[in-house]
Chains A and B, each alone.
Chain A
Amino acid sequence: MNAFPWLSAIVFTPWIGALILALLPKLSPAASRGLALLFSFSTLAFGLLAASGFNASQAGYQLVEQHRWISSLNVDYHLGLDGMSLLLVLLTGIVSPAGLLASWRDERDTRLFGLFFLLLQGAALGVFLALDFFPWFLFWELSLVPAFFLIKLWGGPGATRAAYQFVVYTIGGSAFMLMGFAAIYAATGTLSFVQLGQLAAQGQLVAKLSSLSGFWPTAVFLGVFLGLAVKVPLFPFHSWLPPAYAEAPTGGSMFLTGVMSKMGVYGFLRILWPLFPTQLHAAAQPLLWLALGGVVFGAFAAMRQTDLKRMVAYSSINHLSYCLLALFAVAAAGTTNTAATSSALSGALLQMFNHGLSASALFFCVGALEARSGGLRGLNDFGGARTAAPVFAGLCGFAMFSSLGLPGLNGFIGEFLIFRGVWGLTPWAAAVGCLGLFATALFLLTFWQRVFHGPRKGAVAGEFADASKLELTVLVPLAALMLLFGLLPQLLVGLFNPLVATWASHLLP
């Protein structure tokens, strides 16, 4: 690979787009939409280019960019790409344009919307690529600002409250994390994930933290854990999520669920686990319960929702909890079962990607329903939509069945691998988790049945258009990707398998 800074290009191109939008206040809505979409697509393009230059048989960071940034704080501008990052970059590249297209018809200040969206996209990409806590945390917090405005300004009637709750809750968590890292910095003098990971692998991180005071390792672990757990969110830190997802504009919801929720899981895998293996191991049993709580309660709570967006939001909690379930099972078990461990981790990574695809597609469908019904999105506001709009119904069904883990579509293989791994490590957790699978099927089919089946009624009784060209543009590629990755998971697994193998073989007992 030549010296072109691919990763910086990935991160900053959306921001450049945002800057251009910011500097052209007189831009027409159509032009600003187009511009935003163009820059949003850059991630996919750069991501694919980076993937083409990516050596998939190697586990370490590639295309690394490291430059001294703030010498006095020992802070580097350090970007790197490994399989996990690449996976999430590609996911961002897919979800972001789709999210922009989802709000294509929103006439409210399109330029600003595109601007915030691109800002958000760049920040998320930065989180996925940064290898030093300082830039990482900058990106992490920067992502909140545009997200806040996206929810507040383009959201539904309860958006303001939801946005505040979202931001305050997340910042609250982040504050703990920041304090934790301040302690780490005080103890070790570095913020580089790579160096900290090496320290942790040699057991020195805990020793150095302990040298400050005995309770620091635990306190720091808890702080970092809180910051990440709120972001994912891990049950019971999730109460900001349903209102935020429900009130956000469709594009925002898609991005929130498709990409931002992955930031938390990514943090767990990139930071918490490598840096605090022993603490995580010690805490894994109760955490396992929490993850299971997310799986089960998320699914059952979704069953009770009458707001479709809230329902999908709860399903997100459920799906993301699978990822954490896998991680915690691995952490709880240690290194005894390499096959199960690699299964669980592969599954968690796949699940991250697949959930991004299917959940954002589901949000898109709900958004489309909302657009047709003039803002209604209750479970009982529809009926018989499949008669009126068969193509749309079919595509929506694709997303739904992908989400409930139908074999042959992408959602299944991740869940299967997670359950396979978790079963091998902590069988009872897998058994309890099955309850979530069942409930997911139940509420998604209820959704499908109430909205699409039966006689036409509610919002569908009148005029109800089938999928428009715009919707087809978004949904057909998404559906095709779901099918593709369902049939050929190797396309994704191949990217991160060496990484997973390394993880599985280097676990601490």
Chain B
Amino acid sequence: MNLPVQLLWLIPALPLVAAGIGALTPRGGRPIAAGAAIAALIGSFILSCLALKTALVDPAAHLTANFSWFDLGTGTFRLGWLLDPLNAFMCVMVTFVGTLIFIFSLGYMKEDANFTRFFCFLSLFAAAMLGIVVANSLLLLFVSWELVGLASYLLIGFWFHKPEAAAAAKKAFITTRIGDLGLLLGMLWLYDRTGTLLFFDNGAGCLEAGALAGLSSATLCSGLAVSTAIGLLIFCGAVGKSGQFPLHVWLPDAMEGPTPVSALIHAATMVAAGVFLVARVYPLMSADQALTNVPLHALTVVAAIGAITALMGAVIAVAQNDIKRVLAFSTVSQLGYMMLALGVGSWVAAIFHLLTHAFFKALLFLGAGSVIHAAHHEQDIRQLGGLGPKLKVTFATFAVGMLALAGFPFLFSGFWSKEAILHAAEGWEVSHLPLIAGLIAVVLTAFYMTRLVSETFFGHGRSHASEHAHESPAVMTVPLAILAACSVLIGFVGTPAWPWLQSQLTGEPVHPHGWFEGAGLMMLSILLVAFGIGAGLAIYARRTRVTASQRDPIEAKAPSLFAFLGARMKLDELYAATVGKVNSALAVVSDGLDRYVWAGIVNFLGRLGEFAGVVYREADEEGLNGGFDTGSETLREAGKVYSRSQTGDAHAYLRALAVGFVVLVLVITLGGLR
């Protein structure tokens, strides 16, 4: 049984309907909202599996279903669905991980008053993410992309009565929107150049050869290929969404949301969207690779950003004390890995890591959620400790996740995907700096994860909360177990020995390379992992923390460095001092212009009018009236003189008139004057 691509829209539609149901359910209807959400996502999962099966029939094909959205001038604007292995895998991953997170939330959010709304938002979140995945149009993708932003806004600010949560939500939305503006511009440019936003449209799509050739052949004034510029603008969106440097600042703050939300954001939905986007438009991003005379390749920038982010995230994570923040920065770091992989040309490795990371990061966040739930919402690792014996299932699964993230050799999925990335970075001709950054990050990752586990689960409880912790209910632990199992197993679909995933993604057979082809690098990384874990154990597990106020061993050695890292390299402060200042200055200027300049001009004109009125009045009174007065006076004087010839007898006048008339006529006629 296959899923025809025309019905692909059902995958995002099901959770969307669930979101609608959740929105309309009153607060009391908990089972309805939650049931609808979970059932819809399970339905989507089944459909996704069917879609995957469909896609794998011919992995190289791009199945599309396009339709007209509205008329535009003489043409129409079209949207569509796309089915290929890339998004089929993504669908399966998102729905599967999402389902487990939803189930976990049943337990985690049990006591929250806004339970129904939470599931409504979760469904919306999942629907939007699935929309991104199945879209065959950059615009449809953008629409879903923004909806993801909206859903994340709502979920991060779920506990909006906390000012921090509200602020974090706003920060997430605004920060990602900055990137989105780049994406929007890129999209506009792409649309303008190619006349379509459909990815694949039987050869007419914007990711197909015809369009790409046109894009990469055109250059800007600086010599940059248009495709490079568009690619970088689109990448801006990914930077914002995937928490890449320099727009990563929202991601740690997003921990203000409920933990399942963090899991969803970090594992399945939001941050993965950026990586997915770059992978989706990879043909466009790499269109300039063939050009040699351009100053910059798009992917070079991607690799650089990825490397910086990977390293920076790992470094900052070392000095965090909040269990979720450590995980958050690890996510930043891991996403940097993925971008790095994309940048160095191996989008397949990036997707592989995206999939494995989704499982173990979900596992870690849910585990952390379980811990927090058990410890009565205590998140500071210095306050925890000694939870291992009390939370056995949580501890075991968390440990699996930690090992996967740290890249513990062979058994865990994280190892394989990370190896694939490092392998790709080694093969990059441009520079080896990304490889070096990656390797350093490997050590740090192993180290801070060991620190996290040691502080949380070893030793003994350092607070009332951790001492009285008890294991979470089965509704929370079962998803943990499933995820743990997956974290182990998922890695084996893409080992160098059996690169099934890679071949399915690219649609062409990838030959397994021998065990020893990349053995040197693998050995190096194994050593580095071992070193990291060893160092961590040596520093944190051998002598466990006794009291919560005790200083961190590293802090004791380098207090200023630790404080700097703990404050996330002071980037937030930097932004506040630059971007924020400029922004508010602009606002002040605009407002001032309005209040004083424009209003001032208008008022000035008004005053001018008043003044003119005064002037006219004066001129009227003094000039015109004065002249008339004088003239009248003169006339009156003249009249006085003339009036003396008047006697006042009307008869006399009349008689004079008549006599005068007769005399005049006689004079004229008789005098011959005619």
Q: Do A and B bind each other?
A: yes
B246-258 interface bits toward A, Cβ cutoff 8 Å, 1 = contact, 0 = none? 0000000000000
CB interface residues, B 574-623, toward A, < 8 Å? 583-584, 586-591, 593-594, 597-599, 601-602, 606
Considering only CB atoms, which chain B residue lies closest to A431 in the complex? B185
CB neighbours (8 Å) of A416 from chain B are 139, 184
A456 to B160, alpha carbons, bound, how many Å?
11
Interface residues of A (CB under 8 A from B): 165, 168-169, 236, 238-240, 242, 296-301, 303-305, 337-343, 346, 384, 386-387, 390, 401, 406-408, 412, 416-417, 419-420, 423-424, 427, 430-431, 434, 437-439, 441-442, 445-446, 449, 452-456, 488-490, 493-494, 497, 500-501, 504-505
Considering only CB atoms, which chain A residue lies closest to B191 in the complex? A420
A489 to B77, alpha carbons, bound, how many Å?
11
A409 to B466, alpha carbons, bound, how many Å?
46
Smallest distance from the beta carbon of A305 to chain B beta carbons, Å? 7
Number of B interface residues, CB 8 Å? 54
The residue that B173 contacts in the complex, of A169, A303, A441, A489, with Cβ under 8 A, is A441
Cβ contact within 8 Å between B73 and A342: yes
Q: Is B133 an interface residue (CB 8 A)?
A: no
Smallest distance from the beta carbon of A292 to chain B beta carbons, Å? 13
Cβ contact within 8 Å between A438 and B594: no
At the interface, is chain B mostly helix, strand, loop or mixed? Answer: helix
Cβ contact within 8 Å between B139 and A497: no
Cβ contact within 8 Å between B142 and A407: yes
Cβ contact within 8 Å between B602 and A239: yes
CB neighbours (8 Å) of B591 from chain A are 300-301, 303-305
Cβ contact within 8 Å between B72 and A342: yes
CB neighbours (8 Å) of B589 from chain A are 300
Considering only CB atoms, which chain A residue lies closest to B164 in the complex? A454
The residue that B177 contacts in the complex, of A240, A417, A441, A446, with Cβ under 8 A, is A441
Cβ contact within 8 Å between A449 and B167: yes
Cβ contact within 8 Å between B166 and A453: yes
Considering only CB atoms, which chain B residue lies closest to A405 in the complex? B146
At the interface, is chain A mostly helix, strand, loop or mixed? Answer: helix
A497 to B601, alpha carbons, bound, how many Å?
41
Cβ contact within 8 Å between A501 and B177: no
Cβ contact within 8 Å between A497 and B72: yes
The residue that B71 contacts in the complex, of A303, A423, A488, A494, with Cβ under 8 A, is A494
Smallest distance from the beta carbon of B77 to chain A beta carbons, Å? 9
Q: Is B157 an interface residue (CB 8 A)?
A: yes
Cβ contact within 8 Å between B150 and A406: yes
Cβ contact within 8 Å between B598 and A407: no
Cβ contact within 8 Å between A300 and B163: no
Q: Is B500 an interface residue (CB 8 A)?
A: no
**Known A236-B593, A420-B192, A437-B181; further 11 A-B contacts with Cβ < 8 A:** A300-B590, A303-B583, A303-B591, A339-B72, A407-B142, A407-B143, A442-B583, A445-B174, A449-B170, A488-B70, A489-B70
A384 to B70, alpha carbons, bound, how many Å?
40
Q: Is B335 an interface residue (CB 8 A)?
A: no
Known: A304-B590, A339-B73. A419 touches B188 (CB 8 A): yes
Q: List 20 A-B contacts (CB under 8 A).
A: A168-B606, A300-B586, A342-B74, A387-B160, A390-B117, A407-B142, A419-B184, A420-B188, A423-B189, A434-B181, A434-B184, A437-B177, A441-B177, A445-B170, A454-B160, A456-B161, A490-B70, A490-B71, A497-B71, A504-B73
Known: A407-B147, A445-B173, A501-B74. A489 touches B163 (CB 8 A): no
Q: Is B203 an interface residue (CB 8 A)?
A: no
Q: Is B178 an interface residue (CB 8 A)?
A: yes
B148-184 interface bits toward A, Cβ cutoff 8 Å, 1 = contact, 0 = none? 0010000001001111011101100110011001001
B503-538 interface bits toward A, Cβ cutoff 8 Å, 1 = contact, 0 = none? 000000000000000000000000000000000000
The residue that B195 contacts in the complex, of A339, A386, A504, with Cβ under 8 A, is A339
Cβ contact within 8 Å between A501 and B161: no
The residue that B73 contacts in the complex, of A168, A346, A449, with Cβ under 8 A, is A346
A390 to B114, alpha carbons, bound, how many Å?
10
Smallest distance from the beta carbon of A321 to chain B beta carbons, Å? 13
